[in-house]
Amino acid sequence: MKCTFVDVAPDSDFSIQNLPYGIFTTDSMPNRRVGVAIGDYVLCMSALAKTGLFAGIEGLDASQVFGSPQLNEFMSLNRPIWRSVRQSLQQFLSDETHTVRKQSNVDAVAVPMSSVHMHMPAKIGDYTDFYASREHATNVGVMFRGKENALMPNWTHLPVGYHGRASSVVVSGTPLRRPNGQRRPNPANPPEFGPSMRLDYELEMAFFVGPGNALGAPLTVDEAEDRIFGVVLMNDWSARDIQAWEYVPLGPFLGKSFGTTVSPWVVTMDALEPFRVMQPEQVPEPLPYLQCSNADARGGFDINLNVHIKPHESNEYFTLTQSNLKYMYWSLRQQLAHHTVNGCNMRPGDLCGTGTISGPTEESFGSMLELSWSGKNPIALGDEGISRTFIQDNDTVRLTGYCQGDGYRVGFGECMGTILPAIDLGM
């Protein structure tokens, strides 16, 4: 299938096979609205709704849903409706004789991506972060507990997670302050207060929940498959020294809640469907509620993931991580099914992070904690003598990701953030 409405380069993240959703404004259109990315343009979905493009889709009030300043209302519908909208868009973009094409030129329903401002795609009611990469969990365990006790006894039996802070999830491009907090660099001395000295990124992806479930009504793995609206890139910024001192016994708190960055474009599960792969073998076999029966047995996705850093001393980006979502041990649908198995109700727009996505080789490690092995091994950035063990003030970290098809890509755009100096609290 080829887009004939606008030109789309083969290496564009936003092919006609993708069509991710986001919320945008322009200087001349300050009200937030739903957009779909195609090549170097953003389709205005409310403008397309006025043409009648979606008139035949049962259960969809297109003017209402696509005139919303957030995606929550669209997320609350169901996969057949999402799929019908996607098919309508693909037909419109590919068929030069399409009825709506005769009355709608590019300027009427699309704006150049260079002129848009992107916003949070949804109002996030709740945010959960999982710990689903075996390689990452093993690396961290070896670092702090030794090889013999790298994985905790529960890790291979359930997707470990914790409840994060939705209020500090921000869209790509939003700068974040280095957090202040308690840290204990010398175990022999009392804790100190001040800016984190071991600030890190975590390469993650995250999914937005669609229709959700009622309180007390768990989702099966098969049901969970159709309750995921789509996926974004996520940087789970982590203050390692604050986290190390505070996390026992209840888990991360201030070491995480100062900020989490997500990419603005939500890639749907239908766009990812051609890139399914088998996830890593799970031993021991998961309990029955974490197994699928009718759904496609391939629970993983082949998504290339990269992290680059632009140190404050340079205008150049340097590669830190090259990983892939296919390495993740616990699948997205297993994470959602586990989240609801106790009867917890999920709502449209809830966000679930995968946890750091590390692979089997050093270049695929998804954090500086792993790459520098807890600060012991400086990471060389180019040939100018610049190195890092953790993130410094005014450094910028950029996450990218894409699936490679035959002559096209399904990409996620960028997930970018700059760390500003901590506020001086005078303590």
CB atoms within 10 A of CB 30: 8
Characterize 144-156 residue by residue with b for buried, 16 or more Cβ atoms within 10 angstroms of its Cβ, and e for exposed: eeeeeebeeeebe
Torsion of CA 123, 128, 129, 134, to 10 degrees: -130
Decide: 398 and 308 in contact? Cβ < 8 Å: yes
| Catalytic hit among 98, 117, 119, 136 | 136
Q: How far apart are CA 278 and CA 299, in angstroms?
A: 6
Is 117 noted as a catalytic residue in this protein? no
Query: Which tokens belong to 311?
Result: 């140190």
The tokens 């992290």 sit on which residue? 307
Decide: 265 and 173 in contact? Cβ < 8 Å: no
Q: What is the 3-state secondary structure (H, E, C) of the chain?
A: CCCCCCCCCCCCCECCCCCCEEEEEECCCCCCEEEEEECCEEEEHHHHHHCCCCCCCCCCCHHHHHCCCCCHHHHCCCHHHHHHHHHHHHHHHHCCCCCHHHCCCHHHHEEEHHHEEEECCCCCCCEEEECCCHHHHHHHHHHHHCHHHCCCCCCCCCCCEEECCHHHEEECCCCEECCEEEECCCCCCCCEEEECCCEECEEEEEEEECCCCCCCCCCCHHHHHCCEEEEEEEECCEEHHHHHHHCCCCCCCCCCCCCEEECCCEEEHHHHHHHEECCCCCCCCCCHHHCCCCCCCCCEECCEEEEEEECCCCCCCEEEEEEEHHHCCCCHHHHHHHHHCCCCCCCCCCEEECCCCCCCCHHHCCEHHHHCCCCCCCEEECCCCEEECCCCCCCEEEEEEEEECCCCEEEEEEEEEEEECCCCCCC
Hey, which residues are catalytic here?
136
